[in-house]
Amino acid sequence: MQPNVPICSLCTEPAVIYQRHEDRHLCGTHFTADVKRRVADIITIQKMIVPHDRVAVALSGGKDSTALLLLLNNLLPQWHDVRLVAITIDEGIGGYREDTIKSAEQVTGRLGIEHHCISFSDLFGDSLDTILQGRETQACSICGILRKKALVVGAGQAGATKLATGHNLDDEAQSVLMNVFRGDLSRLIRNSSIGSSGKFIPRIKPFSLISEKEIALYLMLNDAWCELPECPYTRYALRREVRSMLSGFEYKHPGTMLHLIESKEKIERCGKGSVNLEPLRSCRECGDPCSGDLCQVCLLRQSSGH
Amino acid sequence: MKFILSDKDVRVLEHSPAPVEQILLELGVNPLEVIVSRDGKLISEDTIVEADDEIRAIRIAHGG
C-alpha cells in the first residue's frame, strides 16, 4: 500500500472517492454498491418502477444513459416481470452522433436488450443539422422539443409503460437554476412523472440524486467508460454556462445542488393551487398532450413554415 | 510529476507532495469536473501525490 492513500471508511482497500455529503471515503467495491443501493432506494420510494412495467431507457450512448441502462439491467432481478428496452434518437448531428449510436448498439448488444433507433429525418423529414440552419443559437431548445417527441414516439412503439432518462443531480440542479433565470415558474414546478392521467408515458429519473462525477466513476469502475465527442451545439447552450457556475458553487459550498432540488420541491408544494398551471389539453394539429392550443413540435413546425 | 489534463495538454510540474485536489485548483480545474488516476489507478482527490507520480485528470462533462 502506498503511503498517503486515503482508505475506504468501510474496509481496508484504497479509496477511489471522498463523498463529501457523507464525509466518508469509499473503495471501488463499496462505491459501486452504494450507487446501486441509492438508485434502488429512489426507485422504490418514488414507485418509479412497479411489477409488469416495460421500461424504455432513453439511450443516447453517452455516459449517463449508458450507466442507467447498466444499472437498471443489474437491478432487474429485484423486480417482478419488468422488462427493459432501449430507445436511441438519431438527431442527425454530423461528426457527433455516429459515435454515440455505435456505443449504444454495443452496450445493448452486449446486454441482450432490445434496441430501437428513431431518426429525426424519418420522423420530421430533416436532420437536426438541416433544421437548425440559420438558427444554431436555438439548437438546444429546438433539439430538446424534437427529441422529447421522438422519445415518446419510440417509447410508444416499444409498448413502454415508463420512460427512464439519465438526468443526474447536476442536470436537475442546472434545470432549476435555468428556469429561475428565465422566470419560468410553471416549468419549474411542472412534473412529468406524476398526474399524467394516462395521457403520456410517465418519465422517471432514477439518477436524479446521483452526481455527474459519481456516474462517471461508476462507469470507469465497471469498465464501461469511453471518451466520446461533445455535441457541437453545446457551445450555444445556456446550460453550459450554468453547469460551470453551479459546479464552482458546489465545490465551494457542498450541498448547493441538493439544496436547489429541495427548494424546487418546496416551491412545488407551496405553489400547489396558487400557481395557474394550464390544464393538459390535446394539440389541435397532432392530438398530442400539451398545455396550449398547439404542442411545442407543431408550434415549431408552424414557425418554420412547414 | 507528470500531469496529464488531456492528450494535448501534458504538463511536467515541479511540485512538492500535495493533495491532488490542491494541484487541480492551482491548474484552474474544478475537482468536481474530473476523475483522477495515478499510474492508472483511480484515486480520491484528497490523495497526496508525489514528484515521481503520473497523474491523469479525466474530464467528465459531456453535452448531449
A94/A79 same-domain check: yes
Residue A54: per-residue pLDDT: 97
Would you say how long chain B is, in residues?
64
A131/A113 same-domain check: yes
Residue A8 domain-assigned (yes or no): no
Rounded distance between C-alpha atoms, residue A19 and residue A60, angstroms: 28
Residue A137: per-residue pLDDT: 87
Distance from CA of A273 to the nearest CA of B (A): 35
Residue B64: which pLDDT band, with cuts at 50, 70 and 90?
Answer: very low
Closest CA to A13 of A34, A27, A31, A29: A27
A306/A271 same-domain check: no
Rounded distance between C-alpha atoms, residue B9 and residue B5, angstroms: 5
A215/A293 same-domain check: no
Contact B63 A63 (CB under 8 A): no
Tell me which chain B residue has its CA closest to the CA of residue A240.
B63
Cell of A183: 422566470
Residue A123 domain-assigned (yes or no): yes
Contact A63 B61 (CB under 8 A): no
Its ipTM equals 0.93
A232/A149 same-domain check: yes
Question: Does residue A52 have a pLDDT over 90?
Answer: yes
**How many folded domains does chain A comprise?**
2
CA angle A226, A230, A236 (to 5 degrees): 160
Question: Does residue A221 have a pLDDT over 70?
Answer: yes
Contact A231 B46 (CB under 8 A): no
A136/A80 same-domain check: yes
Rounded distance between C-alpha atoms, residue A203 and residue A192, angstroms: 6
Question: Does the beta carbon of A103 lie under 8 angstroms from any beta carbon of chain B?
Answer: no
Classify residue A277 by its DSSP letter.
P
Distance from CA of B35 to the nearest CA of A (A): 7
Residue A7 domain-assigned (yes or no): no
Chain A positions touching B17 (Cβ under 8 A) are: 4
Domain that residue A222 falls in: 29-275
Contact B61 A100 (CB under 8 A): no
Tell me which chain B residue has its CA closest to the CA of residue A143.
B64
A295/A166 same-domain check: no
Contact B30 A239 (CB under 8 A): no
Average pLDDT of span A238-246 = 91
Residue A174: which pLDDT band, with cuts at 50, 70 and 90?
Answer: very high
Question: Does residue A198 have a pLDDT over 70?
Answer: no
A77/A153 same-domain check: yes
Encode pLDDT of A104-121 as tens digits.
999 999 999 999 999 999
CATH assignment at residue A105? 3.40.50.620
- B18-19 and B34-38 as β-strands: parallel, antiparallel, unpaired? unpaired
Question: Does residue A177 have a pLDDT over 90?
Answer: yes
Long-range Cβ contact pairs of A183-190 (< 8 A, separation 24 or more): A185/A267, A185/A271, A185/A275, A186/A275, A186/A277, A186/A278, A186/A291, A188/A264, A188/A267, A189/A264, A189/A267, A189/A268, A189/A271, A189/A275, A189/A277, A190/A277
CATH topology of domain B2-59: Ubiquitin-like (UB roll) (3.10.20)
Residue A241 domain-assigned (yes or no): yes
Encode pLDDT of A6-27 as tens digits.
999 999 999 999 998 889 999 9
Encode pLDDT of A59-115 as tens digits.
999 999 999 999 999 999 999 999 999 999 999 999 888 889 999 999 999 999 999
Distance from CA of B58 to the nearest CA of A (A): 9
How do the residues of chain B divide into helix, strand and coil, expressed in percent and rounded to 5? 15, 40, 40
Chain A positions touching B58 (Cβ under 8 A) are: 216, 220, 225
Closest CA to B60 of B26, B37, B42, B35: B35
A83/A132 same-domain check: yes
Residue A22 domain-assigned (yes or no): no
Q: Identify residues of B whose CB sits under 8 angstroms from chain A CBs.
A: 17, 30-33, 35, 41-48, 50, 58, 60-64
A224/A288 same-domain check: no
Contact B47 A4 (CB under 8 A): yes
DSSP secondary structure letters along A86-149: EEEEE---TTTHHHHHHHHHHHHHHHT-EEEEEEHHHHHSS-HHHHTTT-GGGHHHHHHHHHHH
Residue A193: which pLDDT band, with cuts at 50, 70 and 90?
Answer: low
Rounded distance between C-alpha atoms, residue A203 and residue A55, angstroms: 10
Residue A14 domain-assigned (yes or no): no
Best residue in A17, A211, A257 for a mutation probing chain B (most B CBs within 10 Å): A17
Tell me which chain B residue has its CA closest to the CA of residue A31.
B44
Classify residue A15 by its DSSP letter.
P
A111/A48 same-domain check: yes
Average pLDDT of span A252-269 = 92
Per-domain residue ranges for chain B?
A: 2-59
Closest CA to A235 of B34, B31, B64, B29: B64
